[in-house]
Structure 1
Amino acid sequence: MLCTPLQVQAGDIGPIDQAGQRPSDSLPAIEKRQRPALMLASIYHPEPAPDTFWISEKFDGVRAYWDGKQLLSRQGYPIRAPGWFTKDFPSTPLDGELWIGPGQFEAVSAAARRFQPLEHEWRQIRYLLFDLPTSPQPYWQRRLQLQALTERQQIAHLRVPEYWRVKSQSALQQLLQQRLAAGAEGLMLNQADARYQAGRSKALLKLKPYFDAEAMVLAHLPDKGKYSGMLGSLLVQNDQGVRFKIGTGFTDQQRRIPPAIGSRISYRYRSLTAKGKPRHASFLRPFEPL
């Protein structure tokens, strides 16, 4: 059902149960959550020389922080993994990503959000380790420490992704195309001599053929053609305060029952205009604040 801009409806957030619902006893955990101080990637531009970076694949999984006792999402929600999954994890804090495989974001996201974990879902999940947040060493040494840690722990689902070094922009683009063909989202570039620093950093860069971000739904705009009587486009506002329309990426079901006004969505775009407006924006999914 289409709604006017005055009919604001906020979407639910946080853990879900096996039926996909959020149990009431998870609310105190949500209210008391504290976001982990993670290092966040900036967008790669051709200016930095690629030979100063260690490069890995960008995975479409769920960012997860191991604080030495439990897994936490980027937003600070506890991720209730089965006991066997984290039983032999080290006491050292870890920064990584829960991942199943290319194109499996929805599956791993659902598993990570459940109030009660499902065994068959977690048997598919691997915890890919990217960094050691509390280590004072430069990145290249932290990467070696991660490798030694996984070899010492001998846990099948605890892994360090493969890394590459390239010497030129052309070699970097060639590597990007190879990984995209294999199902990757893109590449991550870590400055070899950089220390771990919480917040947005130029020492951690992402290189993708497209980008994604979040926005709030302001209005449902009806379609006047093929989808007459259904959703034509969403009027949204992103975190930078820019308002724009998104008219592609929806299923027929989402056009019949669009994301609620006041809820947040994830969208994909190619680049930004000089005024900061996303080019070729398309709907990706309802935003899941893990």
Structure 2
Amino acid sequence: MSYIKTCLLLVFTLWVFPVFAKAPDILLAHIYQQGLDVREYLVSEKLDGIRAVWDGKQLVSRQGHPIHAPVWFTKQFSAQALDGELWIARGQFELLSATVRQTVPEDAAWQKVTYYVFELPDAAGSFSDRAWQLEQLARKVNSPYLKAIKQFQVQDEQSLKRTLDSVVAKHGEGLMLHRADAPYLTGRNHALLKLKPQLDAEAKVIAHVPGKGKYVGKMGALLVEMPDGLQFKLGTGFTDAERANPPPVGSQVTYTYRDITKKGKPKFASFVRVRPPE
């Protein structure tokens, strides 16, 4: 094959089969368990937003896809990499999702969004050190669209419970606990914990299970697959409209649950929403 034909074939291949974005390496949380010494952690509110990494030039999702924020939104951001959450307000996830998914950003919508940062990728020192650096960086940047999320300490589990109750009463999601002495870490690690009144997770839709009785002709349940490969039927939490037009196969759905069985499956799982692609 000639050099020119080889080049043309390469261009065609990249056009038809584009290189998929590489997901950034980020820290993921385990679920909080009672009995820990909470004084060893810094606590922050868990925001129901969209995780985003600033690579010094652009925002990318946790899957590595570019987030098309307006130029003015990130204009004052530093060249230093950041990890955080795009957020509007409590209870505004759907509006945020619609805004962030736009390939042509709408200025009026993005003016409601703030990038709350909580980690400095690959930075040295303990998490306490990095949290302090983030506060200084946010002050220096002085952008209304970039803020360091508030980190604080609690003295015992009773104080932690009161804080959680206060956040939830204001329609917040829950709390995050990050070991104050932890170095920068990636992957799922017990250095980061999430505490919510009700647990949630995501799973991939594998198939639609036909309904019975009053749901004949509609979806009765979703067969979903967890990240570890375990599958289970998700059959509650749906409206009649969602059963008539269920989440498509291949989509990611968010569900709540109370506990995990001995086999690793969620107890009392209930559908919440389709998780939009990031």
Query: What TM-score, normalized to structure 1?
Result: 0.86
The residue aligned with 1:178 is: 166
Q: 2: CA distance between counterparts of 1:272 and 1:60?
A: 22
Alpha-carbon RMSD across the aligned residues, in angstroms, is 1.8
How many residues are treated as equivalent by the alignment? Answer: 264
Distance 1:243 1:134, change over 3 A: closer
1:211-249 residue CA offsets vs partner (Å, 9 max, x unmatched): 222223233233333333222222222222322221222
Is 1:210 the counterpart of 2:179 in the alignment? Answer: no
1:147-194 residue CA offsets vs partner (Å, 9 max, x unmatched): 111111111121122222111111111111111111211100011111
The Cα shift of 1:51 comes to 0.5
Is 1:129 the counterpart of 2:120 in the alignment? Answer: no
Select 1:167's aligned residue among 131, 155, 159.
155
The alignment-based identity, stated in percent, is: 46
The within-5 A match list for 1:235-254 is 235-254=223-242
Q: 2: CA distance between counterparts of 1:115 and 1:232?
A: 35
Select 1:120's aligned residue among 97, 102, 108.
108
Is 1:259 the counterpart of 2:222 in the alignment? Answer: no
Q: 1: CA distance between counterparts of 2:277 and 2:267?
A: 24
Q: 1: CA distance between counterparts of 2:101 and 2:227?
A: 24
Question: 8 Å contact 1:29–1:77 — kept in the other structure?
Answer: no
Higher-RCO chain (CA-CA 8 Å, sequence separation at least 6):
1
1:86-121 residue CA offsets vs partner (Å, 9 max, x unmatched): 001001111110001112112212221211111121
* Structure 2 unmatched runs, 5+: 1-14
Query: What TM-score, normalized to structure 2?
Result: 0.89
The within-5 A match list for 1:1-290 is 31-290=19-278
Q: 2: CA distance between counterparts of 1:110 and 1:153?
A: 27
Q: 1: CA distance between counterparts of 2:162 and 2:17?
A: 45
* Structure 1 unmatched runs, 5+: 1-26
Distance 1:131 1:173, change over 3 A: same
Q: Which amino acid aligns with 1:131?
A: E
Q: 2: CA distance between counterparts of 1:247 and 1:228?
A: 14
Q: 2: CA distance between counterparts of 1:198 and 1:82?
A: 28
Distance 1:262 1:135, change over 3 A: closer
Question: 8 Å contact 2:131–2:151 — kept in the other structure?
Answer: no
My pick for the range that moved more, 69-78 or 260-269, is: 260-269
**Larger Cα-atom Rg:** 2
